[in-house]
Structure 1
Amino acid sequence: MAQEWLLVKKSYEDMKTRIEGIANLGKIPADIRKEHKGFREWHFVSSRRDHQSILQILIDGRDPAAMDIEGKPLPTLVYLAREKRPQCHHNFKAGALNALIRVSSSISDAPFILNVDCDMCSSNSEAIRDALCFFLDEEKGREIAYVQYPQSFDNITDNDVYGNCLRVIMELELAGFDGNGGPCYIGTGCFHRRETLCGMKYRKDFKGGWKPMENDRNTKQSASVLEQKSKALASCSFEENTQWGKEMGLKYGSSVEDILTGLSIQCRGWRSIYFNPERKEFLGVAPKTLLQYLIQHKRWSEGDFKIFLSRYCPLIYGHKRIPLKLQLSYCNYLLWAGNCLATLYYVTVQSLCLVKGILVFPKMSCPWVLSFAYAMIAGSMQSLGEFICCGGTIRGWLNEQRMWMFKRTTSYLLAFSDTMMTLFGFSKSTFVITEKVADEEISRRYEQEVMEFGTPSVMFTILATLAQLNLFSCVLGIRKVVTDDVPIKILDQFGLQMILCSVLVFMNLPIYRGLFFRKDSGKMPSSVTYQSIVYAVLACTIAMY
């Protein structure tokens, strides 16, 4: 096995070197174009955003000669690049998946479809068999539209510095989602029943299963004929005046087409299954920088919030179609962006009131302070308990709590404001792809669990300003205690505010290190440092005077 692993690794490295060499060259050498006919078509492409449909059956599973080194038959392998034209909206990932659904129906028409992102790989060879056990169950299998596996990553550090794996959501919350009628579709690591993706409503007399290949009309057609016939299915004009993107395939018009598609499938009477085996079935690549992480969550939360404000709101679209508890389960995620309002209050208002000397919470000597203390302590202990039960560490839990605060004050805030601007017609929706490629230096810092800043961003300016605002407030609060004639009185009045301010300062320690102490290229940019100091001082000055 070690020799086989080294052989596979060498083959992969050779392939990677060839691809990078051709990418740097800017064109495909003539000898490679002659070897693969698909490259000859790419030779006439003007750009990656303006080209015809390119389809090639690389391995024809019907061919008796298609065997591996052990003499076992190989499955059909098809390369597809759907047509793209500047004047035609290609609908991003949803449009690509719909083109793949149509082309696969022409070539194989297999009853079940596996969807994984391009940065994910299989980690368990039993994944297909496990999913089929649900689909082909004699009693409940015909009710199931899709089997969702958790989203897992193979580059997570010991304490998950960015909270990428969303441990509690994947291990606990989606399992509870499953008990409420079936999990949402999260866009990757998911097995679908083809009919449900094509718009079929659930019927009690539905019978799903395998279609015998010998009766398939496509078995009598050559690979070249199938290629030419299937190219039209991936053209820009094919979906015109059809229900694709509306009632068929993945839904268009949302940056989180997976959530919207899963909801619509469940509203047609189907249910879903969440399966989380001990050995993860699929592994992906998590963002290695803070900016990548925040941009990804802005896109997710903005898309989710727009669904909540649209006609697809689960409380409206799902009324009498899915159980109320399932509607509320969806709302738990669709309202992520709204969390920014409450978090901003606790991060800013109480700190500014501490600067001015305005009482926000009850005095420490007041019995009502026990209710606030109970809420803070009980909530934290519950969160910590859930995290530890899911296999996390205390430091990992602190990292996740820090990232929830960062997300709510940046990603969710911008998602909320952009959604409102779009709703009132002041701006248009955009789709930002999360870059996950990092150089060696960034990767090294990520493995050392050092937070990466590096590039200027409005998100970093917000984070740095809030961090310094709380630092100034905490310092001014301590100054009041030290300089007052009766410090016990100050502590009694502002004790809770000072505790909360101190907790926020502790949560922002990586920000302070990036602002003032780090010298590497991943430190906070100087422009962000200067801007945040000015904004924080200005806010404190206005609060005081």
Structure 2
Amino acid sequence: MPNLVYVSREKNKNFPHRFKAGALNSLLRVSAVMTNAPIVLTQDCDMYSNDPQTLKRVLCYISDPLTRPRLGYIQFPQRYHGVNKDDTYGGEVLRLFVVNAVGMDGLQGPNNFGSGCFFLRRAFFGGPTSMLQPEIQELRPDCVVKKPITAPSVIELAHHMAGCNYENDTKWGFQMGFMYGSLVEDYFTGYRLQCEGWKSIFCHPSRPAFLGDVPICLNDAVSQTKRWVIGLLEVNFSKYSPMFFGAQCMGFVMGLCYAHSGLWAILSIPIIIYSFLPQIALLNGVYLFPEVTDPWFLLYVFLFLGAYGQDCYDFILFGSTYKRWWNDQRMWLIKGLSSYPFGLVEYIIKQLGIATTQGFNVTSKVQDDEQTKRYDQGLMEFGIHSPLFVPFTTASIVNLFALIIGMFRLLNDSSLEKLFGQMFIAGFGVLNSWPVYEAMILRSDKGKMPVKTIFISICFALVLCGGAFIVL
């Protein structure tokens, strides 16, 4: 029968980035002492196995003599149960966990998602053609364990290796095991393994191999993404930058794939510009886009329809629905005005040596009946005041002001050809902001927008709209 061994490990505040990666390395060493099994599965605590055929699929890949020499891990997509009909918060993250992974599978393989991943233990000890030597023989991936796991010597050694300070002055976390230096240890570890020459495989069966929970509260969703953003920036602006170090080790295309995933925060700049600048210009009668009859206007039409059409096509191609795609792109805009810029600012502050409160915080999955009911109804859950809510709430108000003023200008014989571009962007912003307006005005449940958030956002909106007359 299988053995279940629970390992409890202390946290050391001096090594905040070792909280999860350090625990994984501790488990890696303890399992080596007890069984040294050649296959290691990483799984989040809120996920469970959904298909008994999963291990058989994994063994088929590992047994293939053509793939085994350089195979580092097999990654299954993260899939979730309990997602409401239209996936209000884009919790499936289909673009990252499926669409991009399928594309990377045609190259050197997908990244590690942190859960639902089967590693070959050998991959944690150097590249396919060379193996690093651990500090003791028992940790070598080719060591055969002959003692039972209940042997006193095995238990004593396991306790020693599980300690938080065991790996001080060793290669663990830097050359061996799961990598330190980032809040997203899964992204960093998979990336480093592929830089060493290991390949990965994306296994996407029709029946999900594993299922887990998704955040059903907006604050949890954007806070989780903010943590990811900070961790991704830590990797992309380190000496292991995918565009330089990664491109040299894996090739330009794979380096670009990792950089594309790792530079989410940079997207906040164009999103913020398009959320405020055209609208403020419209309020002041300044026209930024070509007239509808100008041939250059077709370029903007092509870019908008091309980008959104391709994104929608990808969602439909992988079995999603139009409404889920719409909610996902809405959440992308919300995160672009909250998680991305907050994560970017916090990363910059951290690099300047200023202390921040960010650490590794597990996303809350605690639910109450009323919150679950609102989630099932497709209502966005605000409930508490958060600074993360202020930017996109402010943008919602500014877009509404701009659309109303644009309509008044249109009624006063202004040319639609001049106004159309900016009115379309403002109208698109208003359409995406409907859940925000609903939470501000129409709702009375506990998930409505807090008065404090509304007041602060209105003040910012008035400053932006009023200040625009002075600037422009």
Question: TM class, shorter-chain normalised?
Answer: over 0.9
Match of 1:480 among 380, 400, 409: 409
CA spacing shift, 1:319–1:395, aligned 2, 3 Å:
closer
After TM superposition, the structure 1 = structure 2 runs for residues 490-509 of structure 1, keeping only pairs within 5 Å, are 491-509=416-434
Contact map agreement 2:371 2:447 (CA 8 A) in 1: yes
**Maintained 8 Å contact 2:97/2:113:** no
CA distance in 2, matches of 1:212, 1:92: 28
Partner of 1:193: 120
Deviation at 1:104, TM superposition (A): 0.3
> What per-residue deviation string (whole Å, max 9, x for no partner) do you get for residues 262-312 of structure 1?
111111111111111111101110000011000011111221122111111
Kindly provide the CA deviation profile for residues 135-189 of structure 1, in whole angstroms up to 9, marking residues without a partner as x: 1212221210000000110111111111111223333221111112111111110
1:139 and 1:204 map into 2 onto residues whose CA distance is 19
> Alpha carbons of 1:494 and 1:87: their partners in 2 closer, same or farther (altered >3 Å)?
closer
1:337–1:87 distance in 2 versus 1, CA, 3 Å:
closer
1:328 aligns to what SS in structure 2? Answer: helix
Number of the residue aligned with 2:265: 337
Matches within 5 A, 1:82-481: 82-84=9-11, 91-197=18-124, 199-203=125-129, 216-219=145-148, 222-428=150-356, 430-481=359-410
SS of the residue aligned with 1:273? strand
> Does 2:459 align with 1:530?
no
Q: How far apart are the structure 2 equivalents of 1:212 and 1:270?
A: 18
Deviation at 1:433, TM superposition (A): 2.4
Tell me the TM-score normalised to structure 1 length: 0.81
**Residue 237 of structure 1: CA displacement?**
2.5
SS at match of 1:78: coil
1:448 shift after superposition? 1.2
TM-score where L is the length of structure 2:
0.94
CA distance in 1, matches of 2:204, 2:14: 42
How far, CA to CA, are the matches of 1:90 and 1:473 in structure 2? 44
Q: Which runs of 5+ in 2 are unaligned?
A: 132-140
TM-aligned CA distance change 1:130 to 1:364, over 3 Å: same
Query: Alpha-carbon deviation of 1:248?
Result: 1.1
- Change in CA separation of 1:504 and 1:83 when aligned onto 2, cut-off 3 Å: closer
SS of match in other structure, 1:218:
coil
Change (3 A) 1:421 1:88: closer
Amino acid at match of 1:145: G
Contact 2:88–2:378, Cα closer than 8 Å, also in 1? yes
Q: How big is each residue's C-alpha offset from its partner over 1:170-223, in whole Å with a ceiling of 9 and x where there is no partner?
A: 3322111111211111111000011112x2221299xxxxx999x63224x744
Cα drift, residue 228 of structure 1: 2.4
Deviations 1:485-522 (A, max 9, x none): x23x2x12111100110010000000000011100000
- Are the structure 2 counterparts of residues 431 and 371 from structure 1 closer, same or farther at C-alpha, using a change threshold of 3 Å? same
Q: Is the 8 A contact 2:78 2:211 kept in 1?
A: yes
What percent of counterpart residues are identical?
A: 33
Match of 1:37 in 2: none
Query: Could you tell me which amino acid in structure 1 is paired with residue 128 of structure 2?
Result: Y
Q: Distance in 2 between matches of 1:204 and 1:84?
A: 32
Q: Secondary structure at the match of 2:249?
A: coil
Contact 1:301 1:412 in 2 (8 A): yes
Question: How far off its partner does 1:366 sit?
Answer: 1.4
The answer (yes or no) to whether the contact 1:260–1:312 under 8 Å persists in 2 is: no
Which structure: larger Rg?
Answer: 1
Residue pair 1:297, 1:407 contacting (<8 A) in 2 also: yes
Q: 2-side partners of 1:450 and 1:118: how far apart?
A: 27
Looking at structure 1, the residues matched to 258 and 142 of structure 2 have their Cα atoms a distance apart, in angstroms, of 38
2:7 matched residue in structure 1:
80
Q: Is the 8 A contact 1:90 1:236 kept in 2?
A: no
| Matched residue SS, 1:366 | coil
Match in the other structure for 1:16: none
Q: Is the 2:44–2:115 Cα contact (8 Å) retained in structure 1?
A: yes
CA contact (8 A) 1:304 1:334 kept: yes
Alpha-carbon distance, 1:83 to partner: 3.7
Cα RMSD (Å):
2.0
Superposed CA deviations along residues 333-353 of structure 1, whole A, max 9, x for unmatched, are 011110000111100111100
Distance (whole Å) between structure 2 residues aligned to residue 374 and residue 139 of structure 1 = 44
For 2:270 and 2:237, the matched residues in 1 are separated by 19
Q: Is the 8 A contact 2:17 2:183 kept in 1?
A: no
Per-residue displacement from partner, 1:397-429 (whole Å, max 9, x unpaired)?
Answer: 111110010011110011111122222223445
Residue 323 of structure 1, CA deviation:
2.0
- Work out whether residues 22 and 164 of structure 2, in 8 Å CA contact, stay in contact via their aligned partners in 1: no
Q: 1:460 to 1:84 in 2, by over 3 A?
A: closer
Task: Give the letter aligned to residue 114 of structure 2.
Answer: G
User: Aligned equivalents of 1:170 and 1:466: distance in 2?
Assistant: 29
SS in 1 for 2:201: strand
Corresponding residue for 1:4? Answer: none
Superimposed CA distance per residue, residues 358-382 of structure 1 (whole angstroms, 9 cap, x where no aligned partner): 1111012212111111211222222
CA distance 1:89–1:396, shift in 2 (3 Å): closer
Report if aligned partners of 1:88, 1:236 keep a CA contact under 8 Å in 2. no
> Helix, strand or coil for the counterpart of 2:147?
helix
Q: Separation in 1 of the partners of 2:405 and 2:383?
A: 30
* Contact 2:403–2:423 (Cα < 8 Å) also in 1: yes
Contact 1:146 1:190 in 2 (8 A): yes
Q: Rate the CA distance shift 1:380–1:233 in 2: closer, same or farther, 3 A.
A: same
* Greater RCO structure (CA 8 Å; 6+ sep): 2
Residue 321 of structure 1 aligns to a residue whose secondary structure is helix
Shift of 1:225: 4.0
